[in-house]
């Protein structure tokens, strides 16, 4: 299908909670293929639909060579804690230490309406939380301490293309 352009902060689509997918249509199948094509690039761990301008609850992932997707994901459970570097395709060039749960579990469906459960620790847990945040209208900068968040937003304003 297509590798799509990534929306960048301050694009308002990134701050808009995404709508649930009510029906698996050809457009939803096309969206999933575009998400998979766009995330299938070295250094990309996850990609939410709103990052390519589509306001639907779906994301794709690319962790440890495994590429997949989930529709209507809901973050069900988190535990533990990790504090490490996090970046975002919608916040290019910036990496900040970000506090997340170490373990996360997401439940959703696939294109056939079958239940999907994704879970993991470390980078997988971080990605699950990061992408569901996107679908809820948040970017990882929201999780930073106040001064770091100000610094990041100042950088984004000054380096906008």
Q: Which residues pair with 79 in a beta bridge?
A: 103
What is the enclosing helix (H) or strand (E) of 114? none
Residue among 78, 69, 22, 55 nearest 136 (CA): 55
**CB 88, CB 100: distance < 8 Å:** no
Positions of E strands within the chain: 46-48, 58-63, 66-79, 82-88, 91-100, 103-109, 115-121
How would you write the pLDDT of the chain (161 residues) with one tens digit per residue? 689 999 999 999 999 999 999 999 999 999 999 999 999 988 899 999 999 999 999 999 999 989 999 999 999 999 999 999 999 999 998 999 999 999 999 999 999 999 999 999 999 999 999 999 999 999 999 999 899 989 988 888 887 65
Number of Cβ within 10 Å of residue 51's Cβ equals 28
pLDDT of residue 160: 66
131 flagged as catalytic: yes
Q: Which long-range contacts (CB under 8 A, 24 or more apart) does 44-47 make?
A: 44/89, 45/123, 45/126, 45/127, 45/130, 46/127, 46/130, 46/131, 47/6, 47/89, 47/131
List the binding residues for Fe cation: 88, 130, 134
What is the enclosing helix (H) or strand (E) of 101? none
Q: Which fold has domain 12-159?
A: Peptide Deformylase (3.90.45)
Q: Which residue among 5, 76, 131, 145 is the active-site one?
A: 131
Q: How far is CA 148 from the centre of its chain?
A: 21
């Amino acid at each position: 299908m297509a590798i799509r352009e990534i929306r960048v902060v301050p694009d308002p689509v990134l701050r808009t909670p995404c709508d649930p997918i009510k029906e698996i249509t050809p457009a939803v199948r096309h969206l999933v293929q575009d998400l998979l094509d766009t995330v299938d690039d070295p250094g990309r761990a996850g990609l939410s639909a709103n990052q390519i301008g589509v306001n639907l609850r779906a994301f794709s992932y690319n962790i440890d060579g495994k590429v997949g997707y989930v529709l209507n994901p809901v973050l069900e459970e988190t535990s533990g804690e990790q504090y490490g570097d996090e970046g975002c395709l919608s916040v290019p060039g910036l990496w900040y230490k970000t506090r997340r749960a170490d373990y996360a579990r997401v439940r959703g469906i696939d294109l056939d309406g079958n239940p999907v459960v994704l879970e993991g620790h470390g980078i997988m847990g971080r990605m699950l939380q990061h992408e569901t945040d996107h679908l809820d209208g948040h970017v990882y900068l929201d999780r930073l301490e106040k001064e770091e968040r100000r610094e990041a937003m100042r950088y984004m304003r000054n380096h906008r293309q």
